[in-house]
């Protein structure tokens, strides 16, 4: 009888979940560890921040995921130490597990890029807690602006990647269409949405034509675009640019820069750029072929974008390699099949760029964007619920759509 491989997967993001699924099917004994009881669907966090969806719509319980297979267990705790020679991991809660294979998939976190005042005064949008906190802040400030306790609720979003563009575009739509209904006491000059980007264009990974289309769509929605502007500091009520400009900002959203969290240093594995753990082209740690790193935390020889697709493919690949190694095989190099990239700006507006050069924008791209996010990436109850929320936000009864405050 073959001994079943014991695998510990740390982190239940796209990479960790994909690895777990693959390993579960191979019959390995998997323990999926995460510090939260739920897995988060990060690409839709901006919808939570802008009150289009609830936290339960973009997350699901890890134990429910694990319950699909009898050979998968879930455990809520954080990794504190790796003992590679003993093939053992220790956790924050005092527990420990022995492994045959270890998969590290804990992801990265906000990088403040040493900008003074940013950690204190800006809000990231990286975790479910971040998104819910941003929503509460916006709601609270708008209420105070409506009742005269606060002068204004100006929002500055820093970083025009997909998250920054999606957040700014959606907030601008809410400001124009919803706010006059829900907060009639607030004058238009008391609110604004500004998007700051150090490049001269938004959405750097896209072709110039699509960047321009996205910028135009943002302007059309009333977003103040500050391109070619580098942030020099963040104060409680302002964002300072390097050219000396002071942008009024009651709420500063930090939508750029990710780095490995500080606790990774304690794991004793060699780190590279951005604190990522260095791995071979087969995604395992040099000298420890039984330790794999997948997702954003993987410092692979060829850098990959921090998106769901690379994470899913890495997780799947590693799951397969471990199944093969358990039968005596060797791990094979990972190669990324880029299916293309896409981002949405707001209602009926998105940009899409396939690897073969095909591009798409406007309503067709937006429908593809929704289809991919709902049909392909989500599952079960979330799928229906998210679809419902999209429908409601963009096609529901006009006045009932006015849900900026929750």
Q: Are 351 and 203 in contact (CB under 8 A)?
A: yes
Site for a copy of itself in 69-88 (CB under 8 A): 70, 73-77
Tokens 């009024």 appear where? 248
State which residue, 47 or 110, has the beta carbon closest to a copy of itself: 47
Q: Which of 260, 234, 256, 257 is nearest to 247 (CA)?
A: 234
Distance in Å, CB of 405 to a copy of itself, minimum: 4
Smallest distance from the beta carbon of 132 to a copy of itself, in angstroms?
10
98 scored as a contact of a copy of itself (CB under 8 A): no
Least CB distance to a copy of itself at residue 384 (A): 6
Contact status: 56 vs a copy of itself (CB under 8 A): yes
Output the DSSP codes for 195-238.
Answer: EEESSSSSSTTS-HHHHHHHHHHHHHTT-EEEET--EEEEETTE
Q: How far apart are CA 232 and CA 116, in angstroms?
A: 7
Strand partners, 241: 231
- 199 closest CA partner among 241, 229, 164: 229
Cβ nearer to a copy of itself, comparing 61 with 272? 61
Binding mask 140-169 for a copy of itself (x = CB under 8 A): ---x--xxxx--------------------
Asked if 301 interacts with a copy of itself (CB under 8 A), we say: no
Of 138, 147, 201, which Cα lies nearest the Cα of 174? 138
Of the candidates 3, 184, 189, 327, which one interacts with a copy of itself according to CB under 8 A? 184
Q: Is 401 left (phi over 0), alpha (psi -120 to 50) or beta?
A: alpha
The residue count for binding a copy of itself (CB under 8 A) is 53
Binding region for a copy of itself (CB under 8 A) out of 112-120, 178-186, 191-199, 345-353:
178-186
Burial of 185 (0-12, 13-18, 19+ CB in 10 A): exposed
Within 12-41, the residues that bind a copy of itself by CB under 8 A are 37-38
User: Is 164 within 8 Å of 158 (Cβ atoms)?
Assistant: yes
Pick 176 or 198: Cβ nearer a copy of itself: 176
Residue 90 in the binding site for a copy of itself (CB under 8 A): no
Q: Which lies closer to a copy of itself via its Cβ, residue 219 or residue 398?
A: 398
Residue 207 is encoded by which pair of tokens? Answer: 């072709």
- The full DSSP string for 257-323 is -EE--GGGGGG---B-GGGPEE--TTSEETTEEEEEE-GGGEE-SS---SSHHHHHHHHHHHHHHHH
Rank residues 31 and 110 by Cβ distance to a copy of itself and give the closer one: 31
d(CA 102, CA 100): 7
Contact between 388 and a copy of itself per CB under 8 A: yes
Task: Identify whether the C-beta of residue 292 lies closer than 8 Å to the C-beta of residue 284.
Answer: yes
DSSP state of 63: H
Of 346, 160, 384, 178, nearest to 256 (Cα)? 160
Give whichever of 73 and 278 is closer to a copy of itself, judged by the CB atom. 73
396 binds a copy of itself per the rule CB under 8 A = yes
Residue 245 or 406: which CB sits closer to a copy of itself? Answer: 406
- Candidates 185, 200, 243, 355; binder of a copy of itself (CB under 8 A) is 185
* Stretch in the footprint of a copy of itself (CB under 8 A) among 111-119, 264-272, 352-360, 396-404: 396-404
Considering the complex, state which of residue 68 and residue 273 has its C-beta at the smaller distance from a copy of itself. Answer: 68
Helix or strand or coil: residue 340? coil
> Which one of 139, 259, 280, 359 is in contact with a copy of itself (CB under 8 A)?
139
The binding site for a copy of itself (CB under 8 A) comprises 37-38, 51, 53-57, 59-64, 66-68, 70, 73-77, 93-95, 139, 143, 146-149, 181-185, 380-381, 384-385, 388-389, 392, 396-397, 399-400, 402-406
């Amino acid at each position: 009888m073959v001994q079943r491989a014991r695998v510990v997967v740390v982190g239940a993001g796209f990479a960790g979940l994909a690895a777990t699924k693959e390993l579960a099917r191979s019959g390995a004994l998997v323990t999926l560890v995460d510090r939260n009881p739920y897995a988060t669907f990060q690409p839709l966090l901006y919808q939570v921040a802008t009150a289009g969806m609830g936290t339960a719509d973009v997350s699901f319980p890890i134990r429910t995921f694990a319950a699909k297979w009898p050979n998968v267990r879930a455990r809520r705790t954080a990794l504190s130490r790796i003992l590679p020679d003993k093939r053992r991991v220790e956790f924050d809660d005092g527990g420990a597990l022995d492994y045959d294979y270890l998969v590290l998939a804990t992801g990265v976190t906000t990088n403040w890029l040493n900008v003074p005042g940013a950690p204190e005064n800006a809000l990231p949008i990286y975790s479910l807690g971040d998104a819910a906190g941003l929503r509460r802040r916006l709601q609270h400030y708008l209420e105070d602006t409506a009742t005269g306790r606060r002068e204004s609720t100006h929002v500055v979003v820093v970083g025009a990647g997909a998250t920054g563009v999606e957040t700014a575009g959606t907030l601008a739509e809410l400001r124009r269409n919803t706010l006059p209904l829900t907060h009639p006491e607030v004058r238009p000059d008391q609110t604004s949405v500004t998007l700051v980007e150090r490049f001269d264009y938004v959405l750097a990974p896209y072709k110039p034509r699509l960047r321009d289309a996205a910028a135009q769509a943002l302007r059309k929605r009333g977003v103040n675009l500050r391109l070619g502007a580098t942030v020099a500091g963040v104060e409680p009520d302002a964002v300072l640019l390097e050219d000396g400009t002071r942008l009024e900002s009651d709420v500063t959203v930090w939508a750029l820069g990710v780095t490995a969290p500080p606790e990774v240093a304690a794991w004793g594995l060699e780190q590279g750029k951005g604190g990522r753990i260095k791995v071979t082209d087969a995604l395992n740690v040099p000298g420890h072929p039984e330790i794999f790193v997948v997702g954003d935390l993987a410092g692979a020889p060829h850098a990959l974008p921090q998106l769901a697709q690379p994470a899913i493919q890495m997780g799947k690949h590693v799951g397969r390699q471990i199944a093969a190694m358990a039968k005596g095989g060797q791990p094979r190099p990972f190669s990324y099949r880029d299916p293309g990239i896409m981002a949405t700006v707001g209602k009926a507006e998105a940009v899409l760029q396939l690897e073969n050069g095909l591009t798409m924008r406007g309503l067709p791209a937006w429908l593809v964007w929704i289809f991919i996010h709902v049909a392909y990436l989500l599952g079960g109850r979330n799928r229906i619920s998210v679809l419902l929320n999209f429908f409601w936000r963009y096609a529901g009864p006009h006045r009932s759509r006015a849900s900026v405050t929750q």
